[in-house]
Structure 1
C-alpha cells in the first residue's frame, strides 16, 4: 500500500480493523472474504486510483500506462480472474499499439511534408540557373509547403494529445468494467 497517501493507508487500516473486530472474524474468515493481505492491498490501491482518475482534472491525470498497470495488478490480485487479466492485458496492449501507430503516422506524415518542402526549395535554387520561372515556382511551392508545415504542426500535436486522452478514457473504461468500485468483481 506504499503507493497510497498516508491518510488513505491509516483510514483503510482503521476500517478493516474495525470490520474484523465487529464481525469477530478469524484470520481464516478474513482471508476467505477479502483474500490475502497482499491481494487486498492491491485492490485498495486500484480502487483509490480508479476513483482518483475519475475526479482529477484532465491535465493532472496519471499516464494511461500507469492506470493500466494498476488495473492489471488489481485483476491479478484474484486468482480466479487471471484469464480476465490476460485478456485485459492483450486489449490494453492493442489499444496502446494502435495509439502509437496513429501518432507515429501523423508525425511521419508531417515530417514528410517538411522534408518535401526543403527538397523543393533546394531544387528550385538549382533550377534557377536553367529556368528562372521554373526555379521561382519550385521555391514558392517549397515556401508554401513550409508554411503549411508550420500551420499544421500545432494541429497534429493536438491530435496526438487527443489520441492520448482517448487511450486513457478507454483504459479507464476497461478498468471500470473489470475493477468495480469495491474491488475486483468476482462475478466473472
Structure 2
C-alpha cells in the first residue's frame, strides 16, 4: 500500500505540497482503518495514475470556487482542469466518444467566448471613437451653428457614455458564461471520472 500511495504522490505534483501531503496522509489512514487489501484499493480507485488524476480533478474543481465572478485561480488553472478531465475521458475506451463530444462543446464555447470578447472591444472602441469624433465636430461647428454644434456634441457625449456604461456589463456577462462553462466541465469530471464514490479529504 505504501508503494501505491507513493506512486499516487508522485503524480500529484500540480497540487501544492502541503495539500498533497495532507491528501496522502488522509488516504493512508483511511485505507488502514478500512482494512482494504491492495487489490481492493486498485479495483475501487484504479491505478496510482488514475487515482491521482481523480484526486487532482476533485481538488481543482473545489478550488475553482462557486462565486459568479471570474473563477478563482485564473484561466491557467481552469485550462489545467479541462486538460485533466480530457485525459480522464480518453483513459477509458468507453468514454472516448464522450471525450470527442466534450472537445467539440468546450471548443465551441471557447471560440464563442473569444468572438464575444473581440466583438465587445470592437463595438466599444468603435462607439467610443464615433462619440469622440462627434464631440470634436460639434465643438468645431459651434461658431457656425450653435444648434448643430450642441447636437453633435450631445450625441457624441451620449455615445461615449453608452460605451463606457455597457462595456463592463458585457464583460461581466462574458465572465458569467465562462463560469457556466466551467460548471459544466466540473460536472463532466464528477459524473464520468470521479463518479466512483471515494472519500475526500478536507484540506
TM-score by length of 1: 0.73
Equivalent residue runs for 1:33-112 within 5 Å: 34-50=45-61, 52=62, 56-58=65-67, 61-62=72-73, 63=75, 64-112=78-126
Which residues in structure 2 correspond to 1:1-188 (within 5 Å)? 1-4=12-15, 5=19, 6-15=21-30, 22-23=36-37, 25=39, 34-50=45-61, 52=62, 56-58=65-67, 61-62=72-73, 63=75, 64-182=78-196
Please give the alpha-carbon distance, in whole angstroms, between the structure 1 residues aligned to 2:28 and 2:103: 30
State the 1:101 CA deviation. 1.8
Shift of 1:142: 0.7
Q: CA deviation at 1:73?
A: 2.5
Q: CA deviation at 1:122?
A: 2.1
Distance 1:149 1:83 in 2: 44
- Deviations along 1:126-162, one digit per CA (max 9) or x if unpaired, are 3345433222211121112222223223322322222
Alpha carbons 2:89, 2:193 under 8 Å: kept: yes
Partners in 1 of 2:179 and 2:43 — Cα distance?
39
Q: Do the aligned partners of 2:60 and 2:81 also contact (CA within 8 Å) in 1?
A: yes
TM-score normalised by structure 2 residue count: 0.69
1:42/1:77 contact within 8 Å kept: no
> Which one is further off, 104-113 or 125-134?
125-134
Q: Distance in 2 between matches of 1:143 and 1:181?
A: 56
List runs of 5+ in structure 2 lacking aligned partners: 1-11, 198-203
Structure 1 residue runs without a partner (length 5+)? 184-188
Distance in 1, matches of 2:96 and 2:81, equals 18
